[in-house]
Amino acid sequence: MCGITGIFHFDGDGNISLELLQKMTNILNHRGPDESGIYLDDLIGMGHARLSIVDLAGGTQPIHNEDETLWIIYNGEVFNYPELKEYLLEKGHKFYTTTDTEVILHLFEEQGFSCLEQLNGQFAIAIWDSAKQELFLARDRVGIRPLFYAKNNGSLLFASEIKSIFISDKVKRQLNYEALNHIFHFWTTLPGETVFQDVYELPPGHYLKISRNHFAITQYWDIPFYPTEEKLDWPAERICEQIHELLTDAIRMRLRADVPVGCYLSGGLDSSGVTTLVVNKFNSNARTFGIRFEEDGFDEGEHQKLMVSFLKTSHTELLATNERIGSSLADVLWHCEKPLLRTAPIPLFLLSEIVNKNNFKVVLTGEGADEVFGGYNIFREAKVRNFWAKQPDSKSRGLLVRRLYPYIFKNPRLRAMQQNFFATGLDQADDSLFSHDLRWQNTSKIRIFFSNEVQSAITIQADYEKMKQSLPATFSSWDYLEKAQYLEMTIFLSNYLLSSQGDRVAMAHSLEIRLPYLDYRLIDFMARIPSQWKIRGLKEKYILKKTFKGILPEQITNRQKHPYRAPIGKSLLNNKSIHVTQDMLSNQSLKKSGLFDAAKVNKLIQKLKTHDSQSEIDNMALVGILSTQIVHEQFIENFPSKPIALITPNLVIDRRLKNV
């Protein structure tokens, strides 16, 4: 696990400064504090910050092939590298390390771009073919590891994090109002874009090939879909056996490391399932880590404790108090590099710090199960609303929404009115975006706070059309769950869950997360399982729960889903954090950024302070506005806010003509 960065000069003027490259690498030091390496020639400079996990002593990057024409820097892990290495040894390849990095390089040499199909892992790769003078960048299938790029003034810059690109003065630091608008509507930026102008993200499952006169992005993998005739008509027991086998193998591979591997354990079904398989099959002394909240509505302590005593793991809890959540927002945004509408990333940032202090560099997590097995409320909501839309006047159909969100319908007096909220747009059930549109429309209310300048620069209708056009050709024939899963995985999984609640907040403290549920073999298998096994009636993740029956305690498999969330108002407006919040949202600060209407923001703050508002929208607006202000301050106004310590690289390959 590491950070990568680089500059490619289309005109090859040989003028890449070692010091610039060092700075670009060193600002990623949190991703790779163990060592660093640099490659330089007249066309390209590449930097690598290393978190050593495999071949601790010998894996210094950049790594080269036999004749030193190919050079790789790489962030991530390819878990099936021992198997791939056997094949390459048979082909006659020579290795000088025992790393997965070197395996990827030789496999690329052997198979070119199609090597990506062989890789089971989470990665962002940069390979420089110095003979052909071609650069190859690639990202894993679902986008667990980040990779950004900017093309400007005859150069292409790329990096694991945007801050590294911003070290170069070739990219003007500006917010992209369209992307900001997307966050205030879809909860995140859309695939390929970032919240900064002219800085892009290589989308998951894509690779990029660049040479002096060539620049092309190609998709090599998409979320799989199988039509009815290709689906598996298996009995439930057989499906469960296969899930158990695939998940166990996904875990087995993800325990491969030359350092100890821990587990995140929340007390929910997904992480409990992974941890139990680890303990039962691979490591009875597993080390676990979990988040606790001081507020009951958020805390899962009871179930977490139950799992700890069930598995007898050595467990460490992180208490995410409201004060700590509030005071860590700015640090989290430095890592997430995009505005947020939630505070949920913050406890995960605090958790990785504890894990790091306990000298763990790798943990397995339960992320991805909700996407693959149908766990989210929005999937159940789509099912109910589709059913309701067929008879919109039916009273009993409408009543079903109350079962989805008991926490919304907790006041019996308001139920009839609240139920009607979910009837909005029922006449649009045939629309491709039906499953998510109610949520998006509801969220987009917070765009009311944008300043006139931002308002006049944005549209949303065009994005809907663009999004619809990007959907697979057969999409309209998919069932409600397949559609909703696809939208969730395309828009939200990589851009929010795996980044702001995943890679970025873990790597902030040099921690690599590994996600067995997102093994592509499991994703592919579950795409061949009919939806009726995923959501049965209104029971979410039915088949996964059935798989874990007899393995996990019943209190866990029978548990109603507890969405992972963190407090907002009480975190950002408590006595300790209110000063920062008010300072960032003062008339002066709002005027300086020019992004929001100060009068409206003042009204929002007053409302939240006096009413302790329960409104989801008001809370989202608060986080959205505050985090945008902080991102603006950190990345536009005052970048970098701290000096970057220059670290002498452990390895420098300098092939610039003037130095040869």
Partner 1 sequence: MDYINDVRNFVVENFLFGEGEKLKHDNSFLENGIVDSTGILELVSFLEENYRISIADDELIPENLDSLKNIDSFLKRKLNGTTIQ
Which residue among 98, 118, 377, 442 contacts partner 1 (CB under 8 A)? 442
> Does residue 587 interact with partner 1 by CB under 8 A?
no
Closest approach, Cβ 424 to partner 1, in A, equals 5
Considering the complex, state which of residue 368 and residue 398 has its C-beta at the smaller distance from partner 1.
Answer: 398
Q: Give the strand order in the sheet containing 44-50.
A: 200-201, 148-152, 155-159, 2-9, 44-50, 35-40, 651-654
> Does residue 444 interact with partner 1 by CB under 8 A?
yes
- Cβ proximity of 289 and 313 under 8 Å: no
Which residue among 57, 216, 417, 473 contacts partner 1 (CB under 8 A)? 417
- Footprint (CB under 8 A) of partner 1, residues 447-466: 448-449
Considering the complex, state which of residue 319 and residue 598 has its C-beta at the smaller distance from partner 1.
Answer: 598
Closest approach, Cβ 401 to partner 1, in A, equals 10
Closest approach, Cβ 326 to partner 1, in A, equals 22
DSSP 170: T
Which residue among 416, 645, 657, 660 contacts partner 1 (CB under 8 A)? 416
Considering the complex, state which of residue 414 and residue 462 has its C-beta at the smaller distance from partner 1.
Answer: 414
Q: Cα separation of 327 and 584, whole Å?
A: 13
- Cβ proximity of 188 and 491 under 8 Å: yes
| DSSP one-letter string for 581-626 | HHHHTSHHHHHHH--B-HHHHHHHHHHHHHH----HHHHHHHHHHH
> Does residue 218 interact with partner 1 by CB under 8 A?
no
- Candidates 157-165, 232-240, 249-257, 411-419 — which segment interacts with partner 1 by CB under 8 A? 411-419
Distances 436 to 182, 372, 421 between C-alpha atoms, Å: 14, 17, 14
Closest approach, Cβ 601 to partner 1, in A, equals 8
* Adjacent-strand bridge partners of 38: 47, 652
Q: Cα separation of 233 and 450, whole Å?
A: 51
> Does residue 441 interact with partner 1 by CB under 8 A?
yes
> Does residue 496 interact with partner 1 by CB under 8 A?
no
Residue 375 tokens read as 């766990």
Q: Cα separation of 440 and 185, whole Å?
A: 5
Q: How many residues bind partner 1 (CB under 8 A)?
A: 32
DSSP 473: T
Phi-psi region of 313 (alpha: psi -120 to 50; beta: other; left: phi over 0): beta
Q: Which residues contact 54 (CB under 8 A, 6 or more apart)?
A: 77, 98, 99, 100, 256, 257, 258
Closest to 245 measured CA to CA, from 462, 525, 443: 525
Site string for partner 1, 178-197 (x = CB under 8 A): --------------------
- Footprint (CB under 8 A) of partner 1, residues 608-647: 611, 613-617
First to last CA, the chain: 32
- Footprint (CB under 8 A) of partner 1, residues 371-410: 408
Closest approach, Cβ 571 to partner 1, in A, equals 18
- Candidates 159-167, 293-301, 416-424, 563-571 — which segment interacts with partner 1 by CB under 8 A? 416-424
Which residue among 96, 599, 612, 641 contacts partner 1 (CB under 8 A)? 599
- The binding site for partner 1 (CB under 8 A) comprises 408, 411-414, 416-418, 420-424, 441-442, 444-445, 448-449, 597, 599-601, 603-604, 607, 611, 613-617
